[in-house]
Amino acid sequence: MNIVTEHITIANERLSLTNQRAIYWPDEKALILSDLHIGKTAHFRKHGIPVPDDILQKDLERLKQLIRHFKVQQLIIVGDLFHAENNSNILTFESWVSQFENLHIVLIKGNHDRQSNRLMNQLGIKVESQLFVEPFYFIHEPKNDSLHEFTISGHIHPGVLIKGRGKQKVKLPCYQVTKQQLILPAFSLFTGLNTKANSNDVISYTFTDNAIFKL
Domains of the chain, start order: 5-214 (3.60.21)
Q: How confident is the model at residue 174 (pLDDT cuts 50, 70, 90)?
A: very high
Measured between alpha carbons, how far is 23 from 174 in angstroms, rounded to an integer?
A: 12
Residue 178 has pLDDT above 60, yes or no: yes
Measured between alpha carbons, how far is 171 from 121 in angstroms, rounded to an integer?
A: 38
pLDDT mean over 140-155: 85
Residue 44 has pLDDT above 50, yes or no: no
pLDDT mean over 207-211: 96
Measured between alpha carbons, how far is 44 from 69 in angstroms, rounded to an integer?
A: 32
For position 43, what pLDDT does the model report?
Answer: 46
For position 118, what pLDDT does the model report?
Answer: 86
Q: Are 66 and 22 contacting, i.e. CB atoms less than 8 angstroms apart?
A: yes
Q: How confident is the model at residue 156 (pLDDT cuts 50, 70, 90)?
A: very high
For position 60, what pLDDT does the model report?
Answer: 96
Q: Are 180 and 146 contacting, i.e. CB atoms less than 8 angstroms apart?
A: yes
pLDDT mean over 140-147: 78
For position 9, what pLDDT does the model report?
Answer: 98
pLDDT digits (tens, 9 = 90+) for 109-137: 988 677 778 888 999 999 999 999 999 99
Q: How confident is the model at residue 47 (pLDDT cuts 50, 70, 90)?
A: very low
Q: Is 41 helix (H, G, I), strand (E, B) or coil?
A: helix
Measured between alpha carbons, how far is 91 from 163 in angstroms, rounded to an integer?
A: 41
